Amino acid sequence: MLNPSTSTRERILHQGLALMSQSGLIGVTLGVLADQVGMSKSGLFAHFRSKEDVQIELLSHMAEFAMAHVVEPSMKADEGLPRLRALVRNWFGWAQRAGLPGGCPVAAGLFEFDDVEGRVRNKILEMEGQWRLTLTELVQRAVELGHLRRDLDVDQFVWELCGIYLGHHAAHRFLRSADADRRAETAFEALVERAVPPRSRRRFITKNVGNKRRSARKRKS
């Protein structure tokens, strides 16, 4: 909810983020956004000179929005695997929990702009690279603390983790699968299980089985 002191530019970004979440970046045009905000197209030009400018500014705004809803809460967890788990828990399905009407705009943008060269694609590429660097640093820290194997291929771990996220995104948004969350969680737990040190694997499996049984009992009750 926007308060009366919100600037016109902030109002445009707020409405544009919702539009981008629902219609994708390609759906964000100056005309449509002007209608959403309730202003003339020429009035919108006073803040943004082109469709590309709007899209890039909205991506930057989304990065700040996601930081507040995904990253910052996760940093309260203990370093290493607990923090990585917290981040993944906040990351999967974050857009809906944050109040956006659609899915993650960057996840959609990876497919919208895969063959479209230009400034918007470069911005998405930069954001995705920064995000994967954040994941890499968290996984590497878990390795340093002994939570994950010393010989773990960190890049491969992050590659598979991003694949799980995109699989969840497609299942949840396009297929509308009711079990998307559960399957993504199962895939992530399997990835972690392969990455923990051998001495910790038995304890990890026992704890995970217990958690699944408790979750099953909760669903039945």
Going residue by residue through the chain, which has 221 residues, state the pLDDT in tens, using 9 for 90 and above: 445 446 888 889 999 999 999 999 999 988 899 998 889 888 888 888 888 999 999 999 999 999 999 999 999 999 999 999 999 999 999 999 999 988 899 999 999 999 999 999 999 999 999 999 999 999 999 999 999 999 999 999 999 999 999 999 999 999 999 999 999 999 999 999 999 998 766 565 555 555 555 555 655 55
Q: In the 8-state DSSP scheme, what is residue 102?
A: S
Q: Which of 119, 106, 114, 95 has the alpha carbon at shortest distance from 25?
A: 106
The Cα 218–Cα 204 span in angstroms is: 21
Q: What is the Cβ-side half-sphere exposure of residue 42, based on CA atoms within 13 angstroms?
A: 0
**What's this model's pTM, rounded to 2 decimal places?**
0.85
206: Cα separation from own chain's centroid: 30
* Closest to 101 (Cα-Cα) out of 176, 21, 17: 21
The 3-state DSSP class for residue 45 equals helix
* CA–CA separation, 129 and 139 (whole Å): 15
Q: Which of these, 77, 69, 74, lies nearest to 87 by C-alpha position?
A: 74
Rounded CA separation 197/149 (Å): 5
